[in-house]
Amino acid sequence: MEGDSVTLNTNVTEIHEDDDILWKYGAENSLIAKISIETEVFSTSDVPDGRFRDRLKLDDQTGSLTITNTTTEHTGVYKLEIRGAKRSSKTFSVSVYAPLPTPNITRDSSSSSSSCSLVCSSVLSVCDATLSWYAGMSVLSSISVCDLSISLSLPLEVEYQDKNPYSCVLNNPISNQTTHLDINTLLRHINHSSSSSSHKQNNTTSSNTYFYYKSSSYSSYSS
């Protein structure tokens, strides 16, 4: 998750005098950290776009690399090279996810007297997220589009007599945001709106879009 620290471990207990430890990033294999006991080099360096500025820390005992205050820009492939009496290399694939927004449930204007047309939507700033409608634990529909210029949206038709628990979920591999549909609240708002409209004698137009939700979130982390 953005803001967390990530440590890439060398899995060595100590650095030998003839060892060189190199950390590289991305397809260009940009050198971002180096330890050389023999030449007394212990340094970190940034890439041209500045994404690692003041964010890299080296463990002087093991050579492990920590990236602090991560953002989605730190997603990518990191390569460890150990050069010495024994040569070895290791590749790390790092994914950093931005916090997910809470999806919104709105009532569509095409609702009828017996059913309600709903739309669940969310504006995304990252890819790797899926928007889904659930009835209980069953997935009714889902959509996942990696186009940051548009918002995700899913329609759902619900009968007013339907007592199933519905929810709209936005999730990525490590967390989710859930908005639960409250049918009783939905009906109260509709009845109140209908009653108010019947007593109005002017030409004022009222909005036919409402919000009915209780939200919750879940996050999981793995080392």
Q: Which of 78-82, 94-98, 131-135, 215-219 has the lowest mean pLDDT?
A: 215-219
* Cβ neighbourhood burial of 206 (10 Å; 0-12, 13-18, 19+): exposed
- What pLDDT, in 10s, does the model give residues 20-32? 999 999 999 999 9
pLDDT band at 161 (very low <50, low <70, confident <90, very high): confident
d(CA 223, CA 213): 33
CA 87, CA 81: separation in Å to the nearest integer? 8
Using CB atoms within 10 Å of the CB of residue 11, give its burial: 0 to 12 exposed, 13 to 18 middle, 19+ buried.
exposed
22, 30 Cβ separation under 8 angstroms: no
User: Phi and psi for 222 in degrees, rounded to 5?
Assistant: -130, 145
In this predicted structure, the answer to whether residue 208 has a pLDDT above a threshold of 60 is: no
Q: Is the pLDDT of residue 41 over 80?
A: yes
User: At 184, which helix (H) or strand (E)?
Assistant: helix 183-198
188: phi then psi, degrees, rounded to nearest 5: -60, -40
Residue 199 predicted with pLDDT over 60 = no
Q: pLDDT for 104-132, tens place per residue?
A: 998 877 667 778 889 999 887 667 889 99
The whole-angstrom separation of Cα 152 and Cα 99 is 16
CA gap 167, 139 in Å, rounded: 10
